Structures are given as structure tokens and as C-alpha cells.
Amino acid sequence: MKYSRGGTLIEVVMAIIIIAIAAAIFISYMGSTYMRSPVSAGLVSDQYKLTEQMEILTSKYRQELEAGGGTIADLCAFKTAYVDPLNINGVNIVDAAGTSCNFTITDTTNTYTIAANSALLVTLTYQQQTLKSIFTK
């Protein structure tokens, strides 16, 4: 009895074609992933820089709270002293339109106007990233 081991030429050609198609799909997918990865890494880096600046600001806020016995007398002065000078690599990161001692907050049900100097809204913007925080007396 004769045993046939191996495949016909058609089977070999079909296997090569299938492998080539799979490789082409894999390369096109990996190519686009590698091309976009520096953008993602840059966004994460920018967000980290903003978070780091907000942590520094929060630390100064806590120091002022401790020095003031649990309250900050003048949040506008705190803004001038600590918020306005914030920068990353010489670029000012404070969004002046979104940083104020007197601001209005609107949600789905109401609009709330915060009295002057009772809270401080801080908006930091760097590249395509934005970070907001509210500090209270």
C-alpha cells in the first residue's frame, strides 16, 4: 500500500497565499499602531505634567490652610501668588477664562453663582489637555 505524505502544489500555493494575506493585514495594523503611539504617549505626558502642577498647587493650598487655622482668608490673593505664575517649560498653563475667584456653575437643574472670594476655580490647559479643580475657603 502506498502512503501519500505531503501536499499537492495547489495546497502549498494556497497556504503561501493565506500566510501572505495574514502578514499584510498584520503589518498594516501594526504600522498604524506604531504611527499613532507617539501621539498617545505625548498626550499621557502632557496630562502628567498638568497633574503634577495641580498637585503642587494643592500642596500649597493645604499649607495655606494649615497656616490659616483651617481657612484661607483671601482666595484671590492665593490665585495671584500661586496659580497665575504656573507654567510648563515657560508656557503659561493657566486658562484665564476658566480661572476665577468669582464664577458661575451650571448643571442640568440649576445655575449657581459662587460669591466672590468664597471659592477658586482653577483651569489648567497644556497642549490638548485640560484639568480643572475648585478650591474653597
DSSP 19-38: HHHHHHHHHHHHHHHHHHHH
- Per residue in 63-98, pLDDT (tens digit) is 988 888 877 778 888 888 999 898 888 889 898 888
Q: Could you tell me if residue 60 is inside a domain? A: yes
Q: Could you tell me if residue 34 is inside a domain? A: yes
Q: Is 38 exposed, middle or buried (0-12, 13-18, 19+ CB in 10 A)?
A: exposed
Residues of the chain with pLDDT under 50: none
Contact 112, 127 (CB under 8 A): no
Q: Could you list the residue range(s) of the whole structural domain that residue 75 is in?
A: 9-136
Q: Could you tell me if residue 4 is inside a domain? A: no
Q: Could you tell me if residue 126 is inside a domain? A: yes
Number of H helices, E strands in the chain: 2, 6
Query: Distance (Å, rounded) from C-alpha 18 to C-alpha 22?
Result: 6
If we measure between CA atoms, which residue out of 120, 125, 131, 123 comes closest to residue 65?
120
For the chain, how many structural domains are there in total?
Answer: 1
User: pTM for the full model?
Assistant: 0.63
Q: Could you tell me if residue 3 is inside a domain? A: no
Q: What is the pLDDT of residue 33?
A: 67
Copy the grid coordinates of residue 82: 500661586
Q: Could you tell me if residue 110 is inside a domain? A: yes
Q: Could you tell me if residue 63 is inside a domain? A: yes
Q: Could you tell me if residue 25 is inside a domain? A: yes
